[in-house]
Homo-oligomer: A and B are copies of this chain.
Amino acid sequence: MPDALQPVFRALGDPTRRDILRLLGQEPMTIAEVADNFAMTRAAVKKHLVVLSDGGLITVAPRGREKVNSLNALALKPALEWMGWFDQFWDDRLDALKTAIEKETTDDTGHNNG
């Protein structure tokens, strides 16, 4: 898959969807609850939720006749890591430091602490 993070960036490309993510960061919500925070119909919000779900940014769980949408912030990591590639242009000194550290740890478990 040449560009697996396209659905993520695609989902982040709309301000309403970014707002929805922040909203769901507070607490899981049904479609109606989410839609109550925006000046558009439930159907429109639902479309945004589909795009978000398509990008893996939210998970949807049925609760009776409702659908509870929960944030899955972990899906943001690929996009964040893609951006991380550009760190080298922000601060070369810090990048040199990281490179030096990486040379010491030839382990490939991919531990990524901040």
Which segment, of A34-42, A60-68, A80-88, A101-109, faces chain B? A80-88
Cα separation A88 to B114 with both chains bound (whole Å): 12
Q: Which residue of B lies closest to A57 (CB)?
A: B86
Interface string of A55-93 (1 = CB under 8 A from B): 000000000000000010110110110110111111000
Q: Does A52 contact B (CB under 8 A)?
A: no
If A80-B80, A90-B74 touch, whether A3 touches B25 (CB-CB below 8 Å) is: no
Q: Does A110 contact B (CB under 8 A)?
A: no
Question: Which range contains the number of A residues in contact with the other chain?
Answer: 20 to 34
Chain A: residues with CB nearer than 8 A to chain B? 3, 6, 9-10, 12-13, 15, 18, 21-22, 25, 71, 73-74, 76-77, 79-80, 82-83, 85-90, 94, 114
